Amino acid sequence: MGLLSLREQLARRGDAVKLEDYDWRVLLQRQPQFVEKCGWEKLKGGQWVDMLSDQPQLADKCDWKKLGGMDWAHLLCSQPQFADKCDWTKLGRSDWLELLVKQPGFGDKCDWHMFDGYDFVKLLNDCPQLADRCLSEKFDGEHWARLLRQQPQYANKCPWEKLNGTDWSRLLRDQPQFAVYCRWEKLNGRNWADLLAVQPQFAKACPFDKFNVSDWVVFLLFCSQSQLISKCPWEKLSGRNWANLLSDRPQFADYCLWDKLDMYAWVQLLRKCPQFADQCSKWDSFTADNWCRLLCAQPQFAGRCNKWNELMPFNWVLLLIRQPDLARYYKK
Q: How many CB atoms lie within 10 A of CB 302?
A: 17
Angle at 203 between CA 141 and CA 254, to 5 degrees: 125
Please name the amino acid found at residue 222. Answer: F
Q: What is the pLDDT of residues 82-124, one digit of tens each?
A: 999 999 999 999 999 999 999 999 999 999 999 999 999 999 9
pTM: 0.70
Q: Does the structure show a pLDDT above 80 at 13?
A: no
Sign, CA torsion 304/306/309/315:
negative
- Distance, in Å, from the CA atom of 249 to the CA atom of 297, rounded to the nearest integer, reads 19
pLDDT (mean) for 51-63: 87
247 and 221 Cβ atoms separated by less than 8 Å: no
When mean pLDDT is compared across 86-100, 173-187, 226-240, 288-302, the lowest value belongs to: 226-240
- Distance, in Å, from the CA atom of 74 to the CA atom of 50, rounded to the nearest integer, reads 9
pLDDT (mean) for 162-172: 97
pLDDT (mean) for 189-204: 92
Q: Which residue has the higher pLDDT, 267 or 44?
A: 267
Kindly indicate the confidence band of residue 28, based on its pLDDT and cuts at 50, 70 and 90.
low
Please name the amino acid found at residue 57. Answer: Q
Q: Does the structure show a pLDDT above 60 at 4?
A: no
- Distance, in Å, from the CA atom of 164 to the CA atom of 141, rounded to the nearest integer, reads 7
Task: Give the best-scoring range by mean pLDDT among 39-43, 84-88, 210-214.
Answer: 84-88
Q: Which residue has the higher pLDDT, 46 or 162?
A: 162
